[in-house]
Amino acid sequence: METQTYGIYYDEDGDFLEITFGEPPEIEYTDEIEEGIFITRNEENNEVYSIGILSFKKRTQVLKNILLKFNKKLPSEIDISGRI
């Protein structure tokens, strides 16, 4: 079974979330698929490398929909509510 590496970066001031999947490709390109939603792909095989979402706190449900759309999964749920 292949082990997947995940990277999660959140900029609280800019309210920007980026999730990466695996090692960065040598050549990549990024498309803005909706306003403020960015998908970066490996140019060689077109695999999704990262998902970026601006104004994430206002659009948390978007992440779940994007993951489903591109057949990506995270190992656990992400709670951005700020509550402990």
> Per residue in 10-67, pLDDT tens?
999 999 999 999 888 999 999 999 999 999 999 999 999 999 999 999 988 888 888 8
Residue 58 lies in a domain: yes
Whether the CB-CB separation of 64 and 76 falls below 8 Å is answered with no
- ∠ at Cα 68 (32, 22), nearest 5°? 70
Residue 20 lies in a domain: yes
Confidence of residue 84 (pLDDT cuts 50, 70, 90): very low
Residue 19 lies in a domain: yes
Residue ranges making up the domain that contains 21: 6-69
Burial (CB < 10 A; 0-12, 13-18, 19+), residue 83, is: exposed
- The pTM score is 0.79
Per the structure, the count of domains in the chain is 1
